[in-house]
Amino acid sequence: MAQTLYSRLLLIALCSLSECSQRRYHHINVKKTWTEAQRYCRENYKDLATVNNMNDLNQLMKSVHNSLTDYIWIGLNRSRVYKWKWSLGDPVKYTNWSNGDSNGPGHCVYIRDGSWRHQSCNMNMRFICYNEISKGFIINGSSVSWRAAQIFCRQHHTDLTSVRNQIENQQIQKIMNDKNISEVWIGLFNDSWEWSDKSDSTFRDWSSGEPNNYGGIEDCTAVIVTEQGQFNDYSGTSFQTFVCHEDNLILIQMNLSWSEALRYCRENHVDLVSVDSEEIQFMVTKVIHRSSTDAVWMGLRHSCAVGLWFWVNGEMVCYQNWAPGNETAVDDCDHEVKSGAVQSGGDHRWISLPESRKLNFICIRYDE
């Protein structure tokens, strides 16, 4: 019993370690305007830096050495299009606005009586965090601004909560009723910032009082070296150093068997991709749309000897995205070894295929 518990804890520990960054960041210690920096990054790397979460921001700040400037450009800039976004980055599919009213001033959203209203983000209100590990909603009874609530949730849980469907809306309402709390901030906000690479990351880490569009000319974003990379909006015509990023995954449009694909990746890049987290699955969906085969190989292999699937990077298969029936579709171990591919269309589920099948594949380009 104790042993089972121990191995389960170990499994959880191993399974949560793989939060690696999707990108490699490069700090360019040369001063340029935002637009010149963008051009430089697009010519020499992928683009001006995109940041998806706190982990990315930490990686980005680690790439910075002896910066000539206190502000460093990243890819976030102001557009004309305002949209509702979840702090956690989920697509906004479900809404439950009070009186259908989703427009107008008040860029942060709270729930009252199960329906959603928007309000100035500076209002102090109780709030509700989401915890990815416990999958729980956690109400906090102190009244703070939306941004302070977001900072607290990111430090102690995962983020301010998303409300993805009616069931979650009802769950949250029930928790509020049980605690006799009538209003709480949720993670929905309205802004017009977008990333240079058009990524849909909703991650922002504004410094206190920012963005303030000082002088009406602050259309670009820099991270502040002295504030652990918190964001400031700033005029794009000023000269700052900057951070570019490179994608870690590359789709190879050749049709090879699984073993040939593995050899190709190891000889020309680092390895076939091990999709050992939701984050990496997400990166895969970003490169897969250009593939010419219905599925593409990933670094997933079945071992008949131990009757287990494993990743070529040695990780266990914790995160999973199997198409129904495929995880166990390994019965003909006598014939040919099964390997794992990800479907190019639909929900990009994983399927089990004989390893001689000729498919496109995805390599990783660098190690952490």
Ligand X SMILES: *[C@@H]1O[C@H](CO)[C@@H](O)[C@H](O)[C@H]1NC(C)=O
What residues line the site for ligand X (CB under 6 A)?
A: 82, 84, 102-105, 107, 140, 142, 144, 148, 152, 180, 190, 253-255, 292-293, 323-326, 329, 351
The least CB distance from residue 68 to ligand X, in Å, is: 36
Q: How far is the CB of 151 from ligand X (least distance, A)?
A: 8
Is the Cβ of residue 28 or residue 363 nearer to ligand X in the bound state? 363
The answer to whether the beta carbons of residues 25 and 64 sit under 8 Å apart is no
Q: How far is the CB of 263 from ligand X (least distance, A)?
A: 17
Element (H, E) at 316: none
In angstroms, give the least distance from the CB of 254 to ligand X. Answer: 6
Q: Which is nearer to ligand X, 313 or 326 (CB)?
A: 326
CB of residue 32 vs ligand X: minimum separation in angstroms? 30
The span from the CA of 142 to the CA of 206, in Å, is 21
Q: What are the DSSP calls for 82-140, one per residue?
A: EEEEETT--------BGGG---SS--EEEEETTEEEEE-TTS-EEEEEEETTTTEEEEE
What's the CA gap between 93 and 294, in Å, rounded?
27
Residue closer to ligand X, measured from CB, 194 or 279 = 194
CB 298 within 8 A of CB 362: yes
By Cβ distance, which residue is nearest to ligand X? 325
Comparison of 71 and 110: residue with beta carbon closer to ligand X? 110
Residue with tokens 């009616």: 166
Nearer to ligand X, 16 or 142 (CB): 142
Q: Do 351 and 343 form a contact (C-beta atoms < 8 A)?
A: yes
What letter does residue 162 receive in the DSSP assignment? P
- Report DSSP state, residue 219: -
Residue with tokens 């890819």: 75
| Residue 227: strand, helix, or coil | helix
Least distance from ligand X to the Cβ atom of residue 281, Å? 16
Measured distance CA(283)–CA(248) in Å, rounded: 9
User: Which amino acid, residue 112?
Assistant: R
| Cβ proximity to ligand X, 82 vs 366, nearer residue | 82
Contact between residue 232 and residue 221 where contact means Cβ atoms under 8 Å apart: yes
Nearer to ligand X, 60 or 298 (CB): 298
Looking at the Cβ atoms of 105 and 216, the one nearer to ligand X is: 105
How far apart are CB 261 and ligand X at their closest, in Å? 13
Minimum CB–partner distance for residue 141 and ligand X (Å): 7
Q: Based on CB atoms, which residue is closest to ligand X, 59 or 352?
A: 352
Other CB atoms within a 10 A radius of the CB of residue 55 amount to 14
What is the nearest approach in angstroms of ligand X to the Cβ of residue 52? 23
In this structure, the chain runs to a length of 368
The three-state DSSP-derived secondary structure of 163-210 is: CCCHHHHHHHHHHHHHCCCCEEEEEEEEEEEEECCCCCCCCCCECCCC
